[in-house]
Structure 1
C-alpha cells in the first residue's frame, strides 16, 4: 500500500500481511504523511492475476474506500502494473512471471496470457521487445534466460521497486472498477486442452 502526492511518498510492503490490517495500514500511512482520508482522490488496485482471496479482499477494501464517490477507483492487472517497473513505454515491455511449474503469465503487446514455457519463448522470439519485467523464477528458467540473451532483452526484476512507479496508469486507465469486479483473475487458471 502506498500514498503518493507531489513530493510526498510513503509505502508499506508486507508480503505476510492479511486483509484484516488494511484499514490500520491505511490509517498509519495517512498519519505518516499528515493527511486524512478526505485528501485521497484516486485509488488504484490490482485485479490479478494473483491469490484469489487476496485480490477479492483488496478490491472490496478499495471499493469501500470509493463508495462515497469522493474518490475514483482504478483497477489494473498485476501484469499491467509490473510493466511500469521497466520505466519505458508499455508497448515495448514484456512481463513474465511464474504461474506454476511450466506455466507463466505473459504480458506482451498489451495482451495477457497464461501459457507454457515453450509458448512464452516463441512469442518473445517473434516480438521486437527489448525490455522485460520478470520475477526471480523467470531468471532461473534456462529457456527464458536463453531467449532474453539471444534477443538482447534487458530484464528488470519485479521486486524492490517503489509502488508509485504505477502512477502513470492513472493517466491511461479509466476509473471504474464496479463493473470489473468479476474480472479478477485467480492465479490458478487452467489451460484448456482442445
Structure 2
C-alpha cells in the first residue's frame, strides 16, 4: 500500500511576510463586498470598506505570543486564523475561509485545530473571541461548537476605518468564551 498524502487534507503553518497580500485578499473576500456574498460569513450588509490591510496582517504576524495560521489544501491557501496568547486564555480572531468553500465543514475542522494548538502551545484554559453582535447566524455557529455567549459587549470602533465603515449605528462586539 502506498503512503501518499491525502490531497484533501489540510496543512497548517505560521504566516510569513510573503503571505501578507494573499491573506489580505482572503480576509477581504470572506467578509466584504460582493465576493463575500458567496459564503455565509459576509459582513457586507452592515459594514463597508476594508476588513484588514497589509499593516494589520503584518502586526499580527509580528506580535509576540501570537500566530497567524495559514491553512492550505493541496498547496492552495483556503483559510486563516489568528491565535494570541493572553495570560490564561487565547484570543481567536481573523478567521477567514474562502467563500466558495464555506458550509462544508472546513471551518469546524480549522477551529478544532486552533483550539488544540491553544491548549498544546500555551496550556490555555479557554479560548475567547469577539463577534459583531448583529451576526446571529455566526454567533449560533460558535455556540454549536461549545462557545458561550457572555453578554459582555465592547464598543465598535466607529470612526476608525481600519475596522470598516459601519452601515448601521447599533454595532458592538460580543465576547464568546469556550473552556479548553
TM-score (norm 2): 0.31
Q: Which has a greater percent of helix?
A: 1
Q: Which has a greater percent of strand?
A: 2
Structure with the greater alpha carbon radius of gyration:
1
